[in-house]
Amino acid sequence: MPYWRLSTFYLFFFASLGALLPYWALYLDALGFSAADIGELMALIMATKIVAPNVWGWIADHTGRRIAIVRIASFCATVAFAGVFFGSSYWWLALVMMGFSFFWNASLPQFEATTLNYLGAHAHRYSRIRLWGSIGFICTVAGLGPLLDRHGVTLLPPVLLVLFAGIWLASLAVPERDAPPFDGHHEPILNVLKRPDVIALLVVCFLMQASHGPYYTFYSIYLQEHGYSRSVIGQLWALGVIAEVGVFLVMPRLLPWFGLRGLLLSGLVLASLRWVLVGWYVDAMPLLIAAQLLHAASFGLFHATAIQLIHRNFVGRHQGRGQALYSSLSFGAGGAVGALYSGYLWESGGATLTFMVAACISAAAFLVAWIRVRG
């Protein structure tokens, strides 16, 4: 198994996310956009995940060339993002963000399916590879904050362009891997999607990511408005992902004790607690730190369990579309809805109300999972 080549792709992909998620909203804020404008522009990045992973997933499942899809998509994303250097109007940036994210969002689901195919019966070791993505995120978010304090947010676009190019170069080193043969009758994908437990799982994934909308869109702006420097903002983001790495490292030990369903439910409960802490205690650093440590649960536990549940339900040649559905319905539709409602609520009701709504959404996800999702 090409452990380091797989890990390098995750390193660069999530390093780019570590530059985009915490700081792109600050870049848009510096350009003078309103909270509603920022919410809409950030939602575009998420919205392309609704379509892109499914389009590319269908192609990958029918050609069997997952890594070829990853390479093409990564290259096109790099070229499309370069358009950010040629304008800064709302509509131009909307076009650029739609273009680059359509390709950028296509690559990860197919790479996830490839990684799980390499792992085979050892899918519980996925977290040991995926943690390098978290390390890339940490290095970028912690290192970029002081640089932006010193040189300004105009440094962000060239840094992102370099990281997107790194994703493409890393994909060139990964060999193609065929899906393992599936014994027995090949169930049509519509039959899988009609199963109540699968529907419930996808609904839970959608709601969980929708609850993260205020965090991914406005957390950095929220902290900046309360007097935190970009260096401290970067450190808080990094702390959350360090906690996430810790969860990935211990996942193989947690799974036998608690099972996938137990870990999924734990992540949902702790997500609600996290949003309550962020919404009410932004000026209390110890509680803000505690909230960031809960990223280990709201993202780390949830993602590591959800992706394995998806892999178990979508087998054989449906693997690519299974991961694409997970990406499009959760990070895509859920992320877009989260960015939109947080943008409008932020302007009309303020930060605390917005995070309380997020807490209610993750609580609703817990109820659905408790009733319908099987381990």
What's the pLDDT tens digit per position in 85-127?
999 999 999 999 999 999 998 888 888 888 888 887 676 678 7
For 154, counting Cβ atoms within 10 Å of its Cβ (0-12 exposed, 13-18 middle, 19+ buried), the class is exposed
Flag whether pLDDT at 342 surpasses 50: yes
Nearest one of 257, 238, 361, 354 to 301, comparing CA atoms:
257
Residue range 3-175+189-372 in CATH 1.20.1250.20: yes
Who contacts 312 (Cβ-Cβ below 8 Å, separation ≥6)? none
Q: What is the DSSP-derived secondary structure letter of residue 120? A: G
Q: Are 23 and 163 in contact (CB under 8 A)?
A: no
d(CA 183, CA 177): 18
Predicted confidence at residue 154, as pLDDT, reads 94
- Does the pLDDT at position 236 exceed 90? yes
Tell me, what's the pLDDT at 144? 93
Question: Percent of the chain beyond pLDDT 70?
Answer: 95
pLDDT band at 185 (very low <50, low <70, confident <90, very high): very low
Residues 227/291, Cβ–Cβ less than 8 Å: no
CA 104 to CA 9: how far, in whole Å? Answer: 13
Q: Report which residue type is found at 187.
A: E
The confidence score (pLDDT) of residue 270 equals 97
Predicted confidence at residue 178, as pLDDT, reads 63
Q: What are the domain boundaries of the chain?
A: 3-175+189-372
Q: How confident is the model at residue 375 (pLDDT cuts 50, 70, 90)?
A: low
